[in-house]
C-alpha cells in the first residue's frame, strides 16, 4: 500500500480521536457547570431559609444537564476506546504496514464508523455548538476586561486575557476538528456505500445461483 495511503489513515484516526476527546472535554465542562448551578441554587435557598422558585428551576436544569452530560461522557468514552484500539493496531504494525494490514485496518475503521455513525454525526454538531459557546464566552471576557480595565490588577488582567485566549483556542479547535473530520467522514460514507453495493451484488449473484 502506498505510503500516502498509510499517512492518510493516520490522519483519519488522529482527527477522529481529536473529535471524541473534544466531546469528552465539552461533556466534562457541562457537568462542572451543572454541579455549580445545583450547588449555588441550593446554597441560595439555605441562606434564604425558604424555597425559591428560580433556584428550584435552576436545580432542575442543572440535574437535567448533568444527566445528559454523564450520558454523553459515557458515549464519547466508548467511542474514544474504539478509536484508541484502532490507533494501537495502526501503531503496532506501523513499521511493517503492508497492503493486507492496511486494508484490514480500513475495513475495521469503516465498520466502526458504520456502527456509530449517528453518534459521530451528533458529536460533530455538538463540537460546533461548543465552539460557538467558547467563542461567545471569550468575547464576553474581553468585553468585561475592556469595560472594567482600570479596576483590574496586573495579575487579574493577565488571568482574564489568559481565560479569553483559552476560550478562543478551544473555539478554534471545536470548529476545525469537525471540519477536517467531516472530509474524512465523506470518505467513510463512500466506503460504506461501496460496501453495501458489493453486498447487494453478492446477494443477487447468490440468488441467481440458487435459481
pLDDT in tens, 97-138: 666 777 788 778 878 888 888 888 888 888 888 888 889 888
Residue 149 DSSP one-character state: G
For residue 205, is pLDDT > 70?
no
- Give mean pLDDT, residues 10-36: 85
pLDDT at res. 122: 86
Q: What percent of the chain has pLDDT over 90?
A: 1
**What is the residue range of 11's domain?**
3-210
Question: Highest mean pLDDT: which of 19-23, 178-182, 203-207?
Answer: 19-23
Averaged pLDDT score across all residues of the chain: 81
Contacts of 77 (CB under 8 A, 6+ apart): 24
For residue 211, is pLDDT > 60?
no
- Give mean pLDDT, residues 16-43: 86
Cβ neighbours around 114 below 10 Å, total: 14
> What is the domain count for the chain?
1
Calpha distance 13→114 (Å, rounded): 15
Cell numbers 473530520 correspond to 181
Calpha distance 42→39 (Å, rounded): 5
For residue 185, is pLDDT > 80?
no
Amino acid at each position: 500500500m502506498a505510503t500516502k495511503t498509510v499517512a492518510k489513515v493516520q490522519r483519519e484516526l488522529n482527527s477522529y480521536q481529536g473529535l471524541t476527546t473534544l466531546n469528552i472535554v465539552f461533556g466534562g465542562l457541562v457537568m462542572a457547570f451543572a454541579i455549580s448551578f445545583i450547588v449555588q441554587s441550593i446554597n441560595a435557598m439555605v441562606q434564604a431559609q425558604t424555597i425559591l422558585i428560580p433556584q428550584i428551576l435552576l436545580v432542575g436544569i442543572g440535574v437535567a444537564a448533568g444527566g445528559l452530560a454523564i450520558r454523553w461522557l459515557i458515549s464519547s468514552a466508548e467511542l474514544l476506546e474504539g478509536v484508541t484500539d484502532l490507533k494501537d493496531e495502526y501503531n503496532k504494525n506501523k513499521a511493517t504496514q503492508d497492503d493486507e494490514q492496511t486494508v484490514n485496518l480500513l475495513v475495521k475503521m469503516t465498520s466502526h464508523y458504520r456502527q456509530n455513525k449517528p453518534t459521530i454525526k451528533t458529536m460533530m454538531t455538538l463540537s460546533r455548538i461548543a465552539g460557538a459557546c467558547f467563542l461567545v464566552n471569550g468575547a464576553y471576557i474581553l468585553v468585561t476586561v475592556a469595560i472594567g480595565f482600570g479596576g483590574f490588577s496586573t495579575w487579574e488582567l493577565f488571568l482574564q486575557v489568559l481565560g479569553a485566549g483559552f476560550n478562543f483556542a478551544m473555539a478554534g479547535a471545536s470548529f476545525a476538528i469537525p471540519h477536517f473530520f467531516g472530509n474524512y467522514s465523506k470518505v467513510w460514507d463512500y466506503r460504506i456505500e461501496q460496501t453495501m453495493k458489493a453486498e447487494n451484488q453478492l446477494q443477487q449473484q447468490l440468488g441467481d445461483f440458487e435459481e
